[in-house]
Structure formats: structure tokens, C-alpha cells
Amino acid sequence: MRRYTSALVTAVLAALLGILGVPHAAVSDDPAPRPAPAYNPYPPGILPSDLDPEIARVQREVQFIFNEALNEWRALPLPTLSGSPPTLQGGGYEAVDILGKLMNFDQNMSPFRNEACGFCHMPYTGFSGPIPSVNLTMIAYPGTLGHRAGKRTAQRYTYSPDFPVLEYNTTQGIFFGGNFWDGRSTGYKLQSADAEQAQHPPVDTQEMGFPDTACIAFRLSTAVYRPLFELVWGADFDIRWPGNTAQICATPGGSARFGGGATPIRLSPKDRTKTNNIYDHWGQSISKYERSNRLSPFTSKFDAFLKGAYTLTADEMAGYNLFKGKANCNSCHLDGRSTALTPDQTDTGAASNTRPLFTCFGYANLGLPLNPSAALFYQTTPDRFGFTPNPYGFAYRDLGLGTFLRSGFGSGPNPNSQWVQFAPISDGQMQTSTVRNVAMTPPQCPTTEAPGPYFQKEFFHNGYAKSLKQLVHFYNTRDVFAFKVTSGHCPAGKTEKVECWPMPEVPNNIDMTFGNLGLTDQEEDQIVAFLQALTDGFDPDHPNVSTYPDINTFTGQCMTGGISATQGNETLIPTPPLPPCASAVRGVQPLPAPHPIP
Amino acid sequence: MNRPLAKLAIVGTVGSLLLPSQTVAQLLPPTSRAARVEITKGPELEFARDDLAIIRWTSTSPGGDDEHFAVIHYGTDPKYLSQTARSHIRLNRGHAETMFRVRVEGLTPQTTYYYKVSSMGANGESDGVESPLNQFTTPAPGEQIVNYPQPK
């Protein structure tokens, strides 16, 4: 009864707001019309030709999942608040999971009501980027304002809540934990790096793009599922919103009118605290959804193999033996097991006291080349709101963790001054992702690898690799086919990503654990087969049907043709002559060392 | 699946079921050190071009931090190895030996460099092993020396 009473109040409120001309959360199967592109600084070939219809496709898919979540909410028996501290007995887990799902797929959580978190993170790719042509070209996904976009690939949600709060481990001498490629979502306040991660894209100028975190509370206050939020968190939406709040929240962040401020909505301290608390609960709910058995279920073929319910194929087993043996992948992508270096060696190690998450939660500079296709390089002029995303153009270099530790351009503030000293030994380092679900695709495009039919993904922080074959080949031969060229300028007769790897974007701290692994072409393929065995949703009783939730929500087209070794090479573009690295990157103390960033 | 592996799998699975749902960071204790830490192969030139060289060697596991460094002291005068480079190497606690590889940049074409290699942990503490003096010569511009090509 309480839920329906709250829903009635919300409906009345929504009607009143409609009369007043204040936008409210509408449930619609039609995506909100995208504003006419206000910003297109790109030369031909950077934006894919099918960008607009593909954006519309993903928006429809997002809305479908949102509506599905609404139905789940309506079917949820009302849990009882009992005990002390008060706990939602029985249905608490479901309530938080559904709330997280609703918010994750709510397109109203952006100024133009056209971009949810899920736009860049869809289930059928392990909750990473869902547009094949974007994965082939501009790398980063367009934000609420077309066509602002970032510089890196959208990481998978799955198992991201397992990354601990970012810490510097003095015994190991390295950083562990955090979320994002550069670790800037530390989790220090919420004590969850993943919950904090959900708080960044809504106010990232290149992504969902609100100008103020309070906009989340504002939009939630009129959301149809507000009663569920209140059921879970008991949040107080009794906030005195200034009269210009709706207008502010309908304007993308970074706009000149805001003068660089992060809190343009003038709230009283008490109301600002309320909106901050709501925003924390936003992050916590989405993180709970990501941690749930829906998204992070440990249901891959490998998990079934560990339970004795599945026999790895010959190639999968060979790939696994290479993964933990000659290829040495599990030195960083920890599999919770020990290692058998040679084929005749038996694994006699005791099972490690950890679940096989296939990451050490650490960071490494893989020595990847600069990818000139990344959208951010081209955003050097102001858009119609007076915002210039990247005034440095190609003078920008992505130092990853090192930039974050310096609170540098393109990252976020570092909340721990004791860590700044470690920036030079962290330059170029990016997070060691979990390998789980790297190969997840929609069922109708059952692989990431050409000739397919395949779903085109992008790999590594800058999307440089376009197939798992290329990814493994990079680890195997980075230092065998090393040329002092930038991408797009391999010597005649040397195919890039096959017999030519361009030079690293960041020359410092390059990890030499790999680079010449001595793997044959067949051994590379076997490792790819093993990586594919780490995809969740496998049911030994029904091996051809994925059980992964919402795996069937892809409504686009698969690709066919070509070979995985050169997949995507037709979209390689020559890197322009690179200007020296901007002083805003190379000149921030402590300076990069031993080599300055060129 | 063979029996020992099945047992291992069951232990691993049961172990994971007993874990709390909040996974503790996988910060494993330092790796155990080999009874005798010594270089078992190399050092030798793996790759060189006119401005860059990669040296590799193998030693028994030095133990300690997973995060290690391959270190090279080098120079054009065998009596004065004036320069140093180091590269990140991640130990594998399941491996009895570690292959160290160090990247040396900023070299001059067609020049002979003398070097010694060693390794150290993340905290800068030496593993206590150093190679004898060795040398390599960088090729001419545009040429490469690839002593470990990709196997067929």
C-alpha cells in the first residue's frame, strides 16, 4: 500500500511539474530526440558513418531494459523493514539490485535525457561498449552532447566491485585497487571503488554530462521509481530547489555559463548534504547491481571446469596451460592457481585462497602505441556551450595512473598527497583488467574474432587491438616487431599488428614481463580459446544457450569477413606529426622520469 | 580430468564458497626465495635496433615482492658503466625461475656497449646476483637484430 500511495503522489507531482513546464521522468519506448549535433570538430573518418542510427539503436535497447526493470520492481513483494539496525527482510537484496538496474538504465540521468550509464555499458558485451563501428573508429563513446567523447574504452562492469579501495602497498611497492583505467575512482569515502565509479560519468563533460551532482537527486525526485529509492535508502527528497534548477540540469557540464564551477545549483548547506547523500546511495545501488549474481555470477566454462561439470576442449586446455605457463599471463591475471611451466608438469600447488578473478588489481604500462583514432585528440575547439574538451590536441599524452597521482588534466583529483611522489614510477600504467568476459558477445554474433559472424569489440585502454588474436599477439611479439614509428606508419611490407608494432605512447615504466613470449601462431589461438572459456552464462546442461541476463538485447548487426590477425586494419589512420607533449602533462611535478615524455 | 586435478578443483571450489561475498584484495604474501639465487641462462642480447636494446637472462626465483625490476648498468667504457636502466618485471609465484628482460633506450647506432645485469625488488633491495661483464653492438639505422624471432 505504501508503495502505491507513494506512486500516486509521484504521479500527481509529475502532472504538476508538467503543468509548470518542468521535465520529469517519462517512461517511453521512443528514445529522446538527440539534439542536433552541436559539436563536430572531427576530420572525415573519425566518426563512423552509422553513428546516429547506432546511437538510436542502443537508446532503444537501454529503454527496453529499463522497462524490464520497472516490471521487476512492480512484481517485487514489498519487503518488510525489521530488526535493528532496520533491514529489508527477505527482499532487501532484490530491492537494491532492481534499484541499481533502474538507475543504470535511466536515460533521464543526463541533461538531454538521452544517455544512461548503460549506453556505454550493455549486457551483451559484458557491460562494455555496444557499438561495433565506434569500437572500430572513435574508441570513446559519444556523450549526451553530440559529439563530445572521451579518450578510452568503456570498461566491463563484471567483477569491478571486487576491486578494493585504491591503496599503495608498501610491501609490494605498487598500487592495488581503484576503478577506471587510471585508478581515479579510489573509493576512499564510500569504501567502494566501484560505488564511487558510478558517480563519475554522470558529471563527466564527455559522458552523461550533468553540470552538478545534485542533478541526479533532482531527476530522481521525479523518477517513477522514486518510491523504491525511498524504500531502500529512506532518502529525504524534501529539498528547496532554486527556480533555475531544471534549466541548469538541462545544460551540459563545462559550459561557459558555469564559469568552471562544479556546484552551479545554489543549495543551502543542508540541502546540498541531502543531495550528496542521495548521490552516494546512487553509487552504492549501482555497485550492488554490478556485484550481484546477475552480472558477476562465476558461470563460465572455466568455473564449470573447476567444479568438474565441464571438460575443457583440447584447445581450451592447451590455452589454459599456456596462460599459466609459457605465456605467463597469470603473473598479473591471477587465476587463483599455481603454474605449470612445461607440458609435463603437474599443478601440485595448493589452491590459492582467492576466487579466480584473473586480475591482481594492479597497474602496468603495456607499451601500447598512441591511437590516433581516439576522439579526444580532435576536440580542440569550443562547442556551442563554450567548452573545449581538449585544448592540447595531439600534444596530450595519456599517462594513466601517473596523471591521476598528479591530479592532472584528463583525470581527477588525487585525495592522498602521500602518493604524489609515486607518479614517475606510475606513468603510463593502466589498470590490469579482469580477463573474465573479455570475449562476451551477443549470441547471434558468437565470437569477437573475424571471419565471424562476429561482434566487433575494442581492447586495451585505448582500443588499439580489435581482436583477441591481436591482443595475444601483442603480448607475444611487442618486442619482436618493434619499430620506431607511430601507428599508421609501419615500414612497407610490414603489416601493422602482425609484423609491426609502433613505439609506445609512454616510454617510461614499460612492463617487460611480456613482449617476447615465444608463442607460435597456433599457441596464440589456443590462448584465445581459453579466454573465450571465461565468458559467464554457461550452463553445462544447456551448453548452447547463455543464461546471462539480457544477453539477448542486442538488436544490431553482426559483422563477417576478414581474419582476426588484421581485423580492423582497414580503419587504421596515419598518426599526424606529433607535437611535443603538452607541459600540462609533461611538466607537472614530480616530472616523468627517467625519460621526459616526448 | 585426472584425480589430483579434480581434488585441486574441489578444494578450490569449496574454498571459494567459504569466502565472504566481499572479496579481499588479492594481495598475496611475498614469494619464497630459491635456495640459491643465481643466473641460470644469459645474459644475452634479445633484440636491438639503432637506438634500443633488450637484454634477457633467467635466474632462479629471487622471491620477495611480486613487483621486481630487471636492472642493467651499461656504458661505452667497460671500466665505467655510467648509465643505468631498469624495467618492471612481475614475478610469477608459481614459477621456479624468472626471465628478466631490461629495455635500454637512447642508444647510438653502431656502438658497442658494455654491461652487467642484476635485479631488485620493488623497495630497491638487490636480489644479490650480478652478471659478469658482457657487451652488445647496436646496428646501423634501419636495421634490427632479432635473436628471438616468433617461432613458427
DSSP string, A72-105: HHHHS--PEEETTTTEEETTHHHHHHHHHHHHHT
Within 8 A of A354 by CB-CB distance, chain B residues are 19, 23-24, 26, 28
Do A177 and B28 lie within an 8 Å CB cutoff? no
> Which residues are CB-neighbours of A456 under 8 A, at least 6 positions away?
A132, A133, A135, A136, A448, A466, A559, A567, A568
Which of A190, A478, A516 is best to mutate for the B interface (most B CBs within 10 A)?
A516
Q: Show the cell assigned to A531.
A: 579466454
Place of cell 606529433: A578
Per-residue pLDDT averaged across A30-48, rounded? 76
pLDDT at B23 over 80: no
**Closest approach of A287 to chain B, Cα-based (Å):** 12
Do A364 and B11 lie within an 8 Å CB cutoff? no
Per-residue pLDDT averaged across A16-21, rounded? 37
By CA distance, what is A353's nearest residue in B? B15
Whole-angstrom distance, CA of residue B47 vs CA of residue A479: 7
pLDDT at A374 over 50: yes
Do B23 and A308 lie within an 8 Å CB cutoff? no
pLDDT at A465 over 50: yes
By CA distance, what is A329's nearest residue in B? B92
Alpha helix (H) residue ranges in A457-519: 468-477
By CA distance, what is A160's nearest residue in B? B23
Q: What burial letters (b/e) apply to A97-122, b meaning 16+ CB within 10 Å?
A: bbbbbbbbbbbbbbbbbbbbbbbbbb
Question: At A291, which amino acid appears?
Answer: R
Whole-angstrom distance, CA of residue A114 vs CA of residue A31: 7
Within 8 A of B25 by CB-CB distance, chain A residues are 164, 167, 176-177, 361
* A522 sits in which H/E element: helix A521-532
What SS3 class is residue A418?
Answer: helix
Within 8 A of B30 by CB-CB distance, chain A residues are 171-172
Whole-angstrom distance, CA of residue A588 vs CA of residue A473: 35
CB A88 within 8 A of CB A285: no
pLDDT at A2 over 70: no
Within 8 A of B90 by CB-CB distance, chain A residues are 331-332, 364, 511, 513
**Closest approach of B139 to chain A, Cα-based (Å):** 14
What is residue A18's predicted lDDT score, i.e. its pLDDT? 36
What is residue A355's predicted lDDT score, i.e. its pLDDT? 75
Q: Show the cell assigned to B94.
A: 608459481
pLDDT at A26 over 50: no
pLDDT at B75 over 50: yes
Q: Show the cell assigned to B87.
A: 624495467
Q: Catalogue the long-range contacts made by A24-30 (C-beta closer than 8 Å, 24 or more residues apart).
A: A24/A222, A25/A106, A25/A108, A25/A219, A25/A222, A25/A223, A25/A224, A26/A108, A27/A66, A27/A67, A27/A70, A27/A224, A28/A63, A29/A60, A29/A63, A29/A64, A29/A67, A30/A63
pLDDT at B119 over 90: yes
CB A74 within 8 A of CB A98: no
What is residue B93's predicted lDDT score, i.e. its pLDDT? 81
Which of B10, B14, B27, B31 is best to mutate for the A interface (most A CBs within 10 A)?
B27
> Which residues are CB-neighbours of A337 under 8 A, at least 6 positions away?
A324, A330, A347, A349, A351, A352, A356, B8, B12, B94
Instruction: Indicate the range of A35-39, A52-56, A490-494, B71-75 predicted with least confidence.
Output: A35-39
Do B54 and A479 lie within an 8 Å CB cutoff? yes
Within 8 A of A337 by CB-CB distance, chain B residues are 8, 12, 94
Considering Cα of A156, then A161, then A167, then A172, what sign does the dihedral take? negative
pLDDT at B9 over 80: no
pLDDT at A31 over 60: no
Do A510 and B103 lie within an 8 Å CB cutoff? yes
What is residue A80's predicted lDDT score, i.e. its pLDDT? 87
Place of cell 528547496: A240
Do B47 and A176 lie within an 8 Å CB cutoff? no
Q: How confident is the model at residue A173 (pLDDT cuts 50, 70, 90)?
A: confident
Question: At A375, which amino acid appears?
Answer: A
Whole-angstrom distance, CA of residue A146 vs CA of residue A115: 11
**Closest approach of B143 to chain A, Cα-based (Å):** 10
Rounded to 10 degrees, what is the CA torsion of A560, A563, A568, A571?
-90
Do B66 and A172 lie within an 8 Å CB cutoff? yes
**pLDDT tens digits for A533-582?**
999 999 999 999 999 999 999 999 999 999 999 999 999 999 999 999 99
Give the other-Cβ count within 10 Å of A339's Cβ.
Answer: 21
Per-residue pLDDT averaged across A288-293, rounded? 96
What is residue B94's predicted lDDT score, i.e. its pLDDT? 83
Task: Sort strands B67-75 and A87-89 into parallel, antiparallel or unpaired.
Answer: unpaired
Residue in A173, A332, A337 nearest the CB of B123: A173
Alpha helix (H) residue ranges in A234-386: 245-249, 269-291, 301-307, 314-323
Which of A354, A365, A431, A432 is best to mutate for the B interface (most B CBs within 10 A)?
A354
**pLDDT tens digits for A234-255?**
878 999 999 999 999 999 999 9
Question: At A72, which amino acid appears?
Answer: E
What is residue B123's predicted lDDT score, i.e. its pLDDT? 85
CB A258 within 8 A of CB A247: no
Q: How confident is the model at residue A342 (pLDDT cuts 50, 70, 90)?
A: low
Per-residue pLDDT averaged across A151-155, rounded? 98
pLDDT at A216 over 90: yes
**Closest approach of B78 to chain A, Cα-based (Å):** 23
Do A336 and B146 lie within an 8 Å CB cutoff? no
Per-residue pLDDT averaged across A91-103, rounded? 97
Place of cell 618492471: B88
Task: CATH number for B27-146: choose from 2.40.128.20, 2.60.40.10, 3.30.465.10, 3.50.50.60.
Answer: 2.60.40.10
**Residue A471 phi, psi dihedral angles, 5° rounding:** -60, -50
* Among B68, B73, B43, residue whose Cα is nearest residue B55: B43
Do B88 and A511 lie within an 8 Å CB cutoff? yes
Q: How confident is the model at residue A349 (pLDDT cuts 50, 70, 90)?
A: low
What is residue A528's predicted lDDT score, i.e. its pLDDT? 98
What is residue A171's predicted lDDT score, i.e. its pLDDT? 80
Within 8 A of A307 by CB-CB distance, chain B residues are 9, 13
Within 8 A of B51 by CB-CB distance, chain A residues are 484
Percent of chain A with pLDDT over 70: 91
Per-residue pLDDT averaged across A446-453, rounded? 97
What is residue B29's predicted lDDT score, i.e. its pLDDT? 63
Do B66 and A331 lie within an 8 Å CB cutoff? yes
pLDDT at B129 over 90: yes
Per-residue pLDDT averaged across B27-46, rounded? 83
How much is the ipTM here? 0.88
* Among A322, A360, A314, A315, residue whose Cα is nearest residue A340: A322
3-state helix, strand, coil in chain B (%, to 5): 10, 45, 45
Cis amide linkage into residue A590, ω under 30° from 0: yes
By CA distance, what is A513's nearest residue in B? B89
Whole-angstrom distance, CA of residue A474 vs CA of residue A478: 5
Q: Show the cell assigned to B49.
A: 635496433
Do B90 and A511 lie within an 8 Å CB cutoff? yes
**Closest approach of B109 to chain A, Cα-based (Å):** 14
Do A479 and B47 lie within an 8 Å CB cutoff? yes
Do A509 and B88 lie within an 8 Å CB cutoff? yes
Size of interface A-B (CB pairs under 8 A): 165
By CA distance, what is A324's nearest residue in B? B94
More confident residue, A353 or A146: A146
What is residue A336's predicted lDDT score, i.e. its pLDDT? 79
Q: Show the cell assigned to B75.
A: 656504458
By CA distance, what is A511's nearest residue in B? B88
Q: What is the DSSP letter of B84?
A: E
What SS3 class is residue B118?
Answer: strand
Residue in A306, A347, A507 nearest the CB of B105: A507
**Residue A196 phi, psi dihedral angles, 5° rounding:** -70, -35
Within 8 A of B4 by CB-CB distance, chain A residues are 346-348
Per-residue pLDDT averaged across A113-118, rounded? 98
Whole-angstrom distance, CA of residue A556 vs CA of residue A216: 30
Q: Show the cell assigned to B1.
A: 580430468
pLDDT at B13 over 50: no
What is residue A304's predicted lDDT score, i.e. its pLDDT? 95
Do A337 and B146 lie within an 8 Å CB cutoff? no
What is residue A5's predicted lDDT score, i.e. its pLDDT? 38
Mean pLDDT of chain A: 92
Do B152 and A520 lie within an 8 Å CB cutoff? yes
